[in-house]
Chain A
Amino acid sequence: MKMTGAQILVETLIEQGVDTVFGFPGGMVVDIYDKLYDKQDKIKHILTAHEEGAVHAADGYARSTGKTGVVIATSGPGATNLVTGIATAYLDSIPLVAITGNVRNSMIGRDSFQEIDITGITLPITKHNFFVHKVSKLADVVRKAFEIAQSGRPGPVLIDIPKDVQEAVFDFRKKPVERPASLPCCDAKDVEKAVQLIKESKRPYIYFGGGAVRTELGEDIVKLADKLDAVIGCSMMGLSEIPSDSPRFLGMQGMHGRYASSVALAKADLIIALGVRFSDRATGKTEKFSLSAAKIHVDCDRAEIGKNVPVDLGVCCDIKDFVKCLTKAAPQRKNTEWIKKVEQLRKREADAYEGLPFLPRDAINIISDTVKPDTRLVTDVGQHQCWTAQFFRFRKKRTWITSGGLGTMGFGLGAAIGSYMGTGKRSVLITGDGSFGMCLNELATAVTYNVPVTIVIFNNHALGMVRQWQKIFFDGRYSNTSLDRKTDFVKLAQAFGAKGYKAADKESFEEVFKKAYKVNGPVIIDLSVKTDSLVLPMLKPGGTFNNLILRREDISDAEK
């Protein structure tokens, strides 16, 4: 059937199963918006306040559903406003298709109004990107983009479509959606080698990340751990894949990870890493990272194997298949000493928190106790993010939405909106006064679409994470981290058409949160947090997990 490029784009999106897109219109996508207008019954378009909000929303949609998020923006500033969000998705391997308009082919390269080389700009932060020269290529480019975004290690793909291509007419024929090629099954030899390493080990630790979330590996990991008598920990991206109260699970490991999880990883003699990439935030100084441990690394991306940490066995295959084969082939192990040792670490961790006054941790506990298991926990970036990662008790998969790799402040509100659009589930956004200030304009979107999101602002009147570094490593010289703002978040909420509350202690927070959580729409809770609250444990830069800072008292006098 003869159609314009804009129509072909919309039809191909429908063909690919897209039901929701996020975006913001503009001159060079006006044709696309015109065709979306005709298909409102098939594709719901969520209009955000800013393109950055739209791309974070598409990302949040993808994270909470596993489907590909789609965002549309116009040329020039519309396209550049996507950059942070595309990079966020790239660093966390989130499937995303970003569609931008551009000036006509004949105007390209002339510095025309709102012309920008967005494929050039996004080259290092996309899995691949396309500039569509001809309408004849458009449908297949869109199909390819979805395939690339979802296949292997997922990631963002950008399609830049000049206006004349959107207007040009071509024949469109629907095609069946091609499923991305599956990864190869595991090799028996690799399994055999892994079994050998397991037999030689007495202190096994299974370490997983975002790749395990992607492949829904949780139950398989627990089964493997039972067979190996191993403990389990994860990177920030792995959270929520297995329930936090799973007996062998020690929680997030890393720079601000749980004490027992981080120290156990450092003391292990065998690390089985599944869909995790040994980021510097997880390993500390890579040269000193768990030197005594044998390492098995299984990932869908061959380039990750040996990239940051040398491994004894690197396997690039279908992770689930490998874990299942390994569980079958491995002998039943008993590591009583190891499990006992880990219990001691857990005890030390618990003791460190005893008897402290009302802390962010208590607020997270109240939230944990109140919310339904399928509530999405969304965060921005900073201290509040680490506290949530440490203490929230996850019960369901894909309920943790955070910017792990890029660490994008301002990610949360957009992501919460996208997450709700994808799942229809309520979310809690835990944020800080610094992060929230970055993209709070999306409160307008949350109100417009009546998104049930409880926004808890951990308000310490500071950029807490940087301040923490300044306190410990820069002699308390708080350069530009004190937020002496007069923002009244309750009034701000009201101005946007949302509800706002304040809380300052355990009792008031518990009462307010329970109330706010029931509201069918966005609510802000401005929770006062002490300015000098610290995220602990903390790994010193260049340090190892054997000298973690666990308690405030552990900060040496010189560093106080």
Chain B
Amino acid sequence: MQKNKIIIAIYVDNQYGVLSRVTAMFTRRGYNIDSLTVGETESPEYSRITITLTAEKNDKDQVVSQLRKLYNVKKVVVLSSEECIKRELLLIKVRNTEEAHSDIVEATNIFRTKIIDFTDEAISIEATGDSQKIDAFIEYMKKFDIIEMCRTGLVALDRGGTNIWSEHED
């Protein structure tokens, strides 16, 4: 069966230990998380976890059903890739040399990223975008000397006026 990239948004009780309950379910059932982000939400009693994974439809249904059984999980929604806004943040630090310098600056302009730290040794760049853009940018930067990089994983929201509590199709 065909495997697809899936974005799952989960509202959970904002308590300690809840994240490990959620991730333990993935471990226990043998599913691999591609990316995971977690943070506070508009209401302080909930946290929002965004998980991306690559799975077949059956596995997706199983993940969603198993998540919904967890006591601290309040809402689970599969976000449609087309119908949601999604962003990832990348921080990447590359070696600053005389030869590379102008190419790096040009690349940051073309990819519409932002230089946030600039020294004689290194240029640090902030990039936001969907995962494909981030992938493409990293791929391009590989021609330079990457000192260090760090990406956040995907965050996503529905387009339009709806929110996680609105009706969603599984």
Name A residues whose Cβ lies closer than 8 Å to a Cβ of B: 119-120, 123-124, 127-128, 131, 148, 301-303, 305-307, 310
- Closest-by-CB residue of B relative to A153 is B69
Chain B residues with Cβ under 8 A from A303's Cβ? 62, 65-66, 68-69
Chain B residues with Cβ under 8 A from A305's Cβ? 65
The reply to whether B68 and A302 contact each other, CB–CB distance below 8 Å, is: yes
Query: Which residues 58-97 of B have a CB within 8 angstroms of A?
Result: 58, 61-62, 65-66, 68-72
- Closest-by-CB residue of A relative to B25 is A124
Shortest A429–chain B CB gap in Å is 32
State in angstroms the CA–CA spacing of A301 and B62 once bound together.
11
- Closest-by-CB residue of A relative to B72 is A128
Contact code string B133-147 (vs A, CB < 8 Å = 1, else 0): 000000000000000
Q: Does B162 contact A (CB under 8 A)?
A: no
Q: List 29 A-B contacts (CB under 8 A).
A: A119-B17, A120-B20, A123-B20, A123-B21, A123-B24, A124-B24, A124-B27, A124-B28, A127-B69, A127-B71, A128-B70, A128-B71, A128-B72, A131-B17, A148-B71, A301-B69, A302-B65, A302-B68, A303-B62, A303-B65, A303-B66, A303-B68, A303-B69, A305-B65, A306-B58, A306-B61, A306-B62, A307-B62, A310-B58
Shortest A145–chain B CB gap in Å is 10
Chain A residues with Cβ under 8 A from B66's Cβ? 303
Chain A residues with Cβ under 8 A from B70's Cβ? 128
State in angstroms the CA–CA spacing of A305 and B20 once bound together.
25
Chain B residues with Cβ under 8 A from A127's Cβ? 69, 71
Chain A residues with Cβ under 8 A from B21's Cβ? 123
Interface pairs A-B: 9 shortest CB-CB: A303-B65, A128-B71, A124-B28, A302-B65, A303-B66, A123-B24, A124-B24, A307-B62, A303-B69
Chain B residues with Cβ under 8 A from A120's Cβ? 20
Chain A residues with Cβ under 8 A from B17's Cβ? 119, 131
State in angstroms the CA–CA spacing of A383 and B142 once bound together.
62
Shortest B14–chain A CB gap in Å is 15
Chain B residues with Cβ under 8 A from A128's Cβ? 70-72
State in angstroms the CA–CA spacing of A119 and B24 once bound together.
12
- Per DSSP, are chain B's interface residues mostly helix, strand or loop, or mixed? helix
Chain B, interface size: which category?
10 to 19
State in angstroms the CA–CA spacing of A148 and B69 once bound together.
11
Shortest B59–chain A CB gap in Å is 10
Contact code string B1-34 (vs A, CB < 8 Å = 1, else 0): 0000000000000000100110010011000000
Contact code string B22-60 (vs A, CB < 8 Å = 1, else 0): 001001100000000000000000000000000000100
- Closest-by-CB residue of B relative to A148 is B71
Chain A residues with Cβ under 8 A from B27's Cβ? 124
Shortest A49–chain B CB gap in Å is 32
State in angstroms the CA–CA spacing of A128 and B61 once bound together.
21
- Closest-by-CB residue of B relative to A133 is B16
Chain B residues with Cβ under 8 A from A307's Cβ? 62
State in angstroms the CA–CA spacing of A164 and B97 once bound together.
61
- Closest-by-CB residue of B relative to A302 is B65
Considering residues B24, B27, B65, B66, which has the most beta carbons from chain A within 10 angstroms of its beta carbon? Answer: B65
- Closest-by-CB residue of B relative to A304 is B65
- Closest-by-CB residue of B relative to A123 is B24
Shortest A514–chain B CB gap in Å is 48
Q: Besides A124-B27, A303-B68, 10 other CB < 8 A contacts?
A: A123-B21, A124-B24, A124-B28, A128-B71, A128-B72, A148-B71, A302-B68, A303-B66, A303-B69, A306-B61
Chain A residues with Cβ under 8 A from B20's Cβ? 120, 123
State in angstroms the CA–CA spacing of A310 and B62 once bound together.
12
Shortest A274–chain B CB gap in Å is 19
Chain B residues with Cβ under 8 A from A310's Cβ? 58
State in angstroms the CA–CA spacing of A305 and B28 once bound together.
18
Chain B residues with Cβ under 8 A from A148's Cβ? 71
State in angstroms the CA–CA spacing of A162 and B111 once bound together.
55
Shortest B132–chain A CB gap in Å is 31
- Closest-by-CB residue of A relative to B62 is A307
State in angstroms the CA–CA spacing of A119 and B16 once bound together.
12
Chain A residues with Cβ under 8 A from B68's Cβ? 302-303
State in angstroms the CA–CA spacing of A127 and B25 once bound together.
11
State in angstroms the CA–CA spacing of A79 and B21 once bound together.
19
Chain B residues with Cβ under 8 A from A302's Cβ? 65, 68
Chain B residues with Cβ under 8 A from A123's Cβ? 20-21, 24
Shortest A47–chain B CB gap in Å is 31
- Closest-by-CB residue of A relative to B27 is A124
Chain A residues with Cβ under 8 A from B72's Cβ? 128
Contact code string B104-144 (vs A, CB < 8 Å = 1, else 0): 00000000000000000000000000000000000000000
State in angstroms the CA–CA spacing of A30 and B21 once bound together.
30
Shortest B27–chain A CB gap in Å is 8
Shortest A137–chain B CB gap in Å is 11
Chain B residues with Cβ under 8 A from A306's Cβ? 58, 61-62
Chain B residues with Cβ under 8 A from A301's Cβ? 69
State in angstroms the CA–CA spacing of A127 and B66 once bound together.
11
State in angstroms the CA–CA spacing of A37 and B43 once bound together.
45
State in angstroms the CA–CA spacing of A128 and B20 once bound together.
12
Shortest B161–chain A CB gap in Å is 29
Shortest B74–chain A CB gap in Å is 14
- Closest-by-CB residue of A relative to B69 is A303
State in angstroms the CA–CA spacing of A120 and B69 once bound together.
18
- Closest-by-CB residue of B relative to A128 is B71
State in angstroms the CA–CA spacing of A307 and B60 once bound together.
11
State in angstroms the CA–CA spacing of A547 and B125 once bound together.
65
Shortest B12–chain A CB gap in Å is 13
State in angstroms the CA–CA spacing of A303 and B66 once bound together.
6
State in angstroms the CA–CA spacing of A302 and B76 once bound together.
14
State in angstroms the CA–CA spacing of A307 and B17 once bound together.
27
State in angstroms the CA–CA spacing of A131 and B16 once bound together.
10
Shortest B62–chain A CB gap in Å is 6
State in angstroms the CA–CA spacing of A301 and B27 once bound together.
20
State in angstroms the CA–CA spacing of A373 and B86 once bound together.
63
State in angstroms the CA–CA spacing of A120 and B20 once bound together.
9
State in angstroms the CA–CA spacing of A124 and B21 once bound together.
8
